[in-house]
Amino acid sequence: MRSFVLAVMLAILSAGSVAGQIDSPIPEDLSPDERRRIQVFRQSSASVVYITSIALRRSFFSMDLFQIPQGTGSGFVWDTRGHIVTNYHVIEGGNTFIVALADQSEWEAEVIGVAPDKDLAVLRIKAAAHQLHPLERGSSSRLAVGQQVLALGNPFGLDHTLTAGVVSALGRELRSPGGRVIRDVIQTDAAINPGNSGGPLLDSRGRLIGVNSAIYSPSGGSAGIGFAVPVDTVARLIPQLIQHGRPIQPGIGVSLLPDHITSRLGLEGVVLYEIVRDGPAHRAGLEGLRTSRSGRIIAGDRIVAVDGEPVRSGDDLMHLFENAGVGSRVTLQVIGEGQERQVALTLVALTPAAGR
């Protein structure tokens, strides 16, 4: 509670300094790199928001509702319809959310959609379009190690803070709040501290390339190793969260044998456990586990690759299906009854209970 109050006090004390940071003239004797960073900060600050998460709890004795601060974080404007993007862990556990824009106006926000497996969430506020300034989006697929990046956010409740660094590594993996691995994560040495979560990671031209999500730190402060969800993943998922409230998972209509059992059996790939009737896998003739008349369990098919990319776990399979997308035609490399074959089928949108 004390840290939350401190963050709020710092935010209030720093609020008056934002306009001065943006409106003051840029000194003439700065290097081109410095001037560019200042310009990026000024043009992007209006897109960054401050998010406060509050949980509602009922008193055991009086049955009255009371508010418990859950924490704070950052986010950014996605479009002029009021959609705000942040990390899922910033809003996790909260019931009420307050979004403060760069103009210091505060808005109660509703949760539109969440993707815990990618640590992403979308809120919506009812601000006027002229108050909302979306960021230009870049591409994370064209990033290079060593290129300059800028991280914006509200660390420790301090409004509109900029840190600069470089892309330290690409293709990292990060465990999400939902338990799955987030692939192709960007590693940066730009300082990311508590409160930066959910804020944008920008390239040197001010284009969005990632969402700041986590740090590696034994002490809890920045240790020069930060991680961001890549913008290509963000751009694919956010429209789904806005439209459906959840990610749309592509699949073929199967459930899988748990990875640890497959590994214990010494089998390669993923073992099909059950096949959803009339799904793509069923229509393609794939078979799951079955029982013989004597009660012996007979292994069915195993998927060992998708479009030539090896599959070693259920998470690998979901990742490859997600990259392909609903409606895409994929070729599975399948092993069954000692024989290997290729099976082509089309990915469909799965319901939450329809497996993979």
Half-sphere exposure (Cβ direction) of 11: Cα atoms closer than 13 Å: 26
What is the amino acid identity at position 334?
V
Q: Which helix (H) or strand (E) holds 291?
A: strand 290-291
Q: How far apart are CA 251 and CA 263, in angstroms?
A: 22
Which of the following is catalytic: 83, 117, 119, 301? 119
SS3 189: coil
Whether residue 197 lies in the annotated active site: yes
Residue 80: DSSP 8-state: T
- The closest of 24, 137, 128, 35 to 76, measured between CA atoms, is 137
- For residue 207, the cross-strand partners are none
Please give the distance of CA 313 from its chain centroid, rounded to a whole number.
21
First to last CA, the chain: 42
Whether residue 130 lies in the annotated active site: no
Whether residue 282 lies in the annotated active site: no
Residue 344: CB atoms within 10 Å: 10
Residue 247: CB atoms within 10 Å: 19
Altogether, the residues listed in the chain come to a count of: 356
Which of the following is catalytic: 197, 203, 222, 319? 197
> Measuring CA to CA, how many Å separate 292 from each of 99, 285, 296?
59, 19, 5
257 close to 289: Cβ distance less than 8 angstroms: yes
In the numeric block, the tokens 């009086």 are attached to 62
Which of the following is catalytic: 83, 89, 133, 160? 89
SS3 18: helix
Q: Which helix (H) or strand (E) holds 321?
A: helix 314-324
Residues with active-site annotation: 89, 119, 197
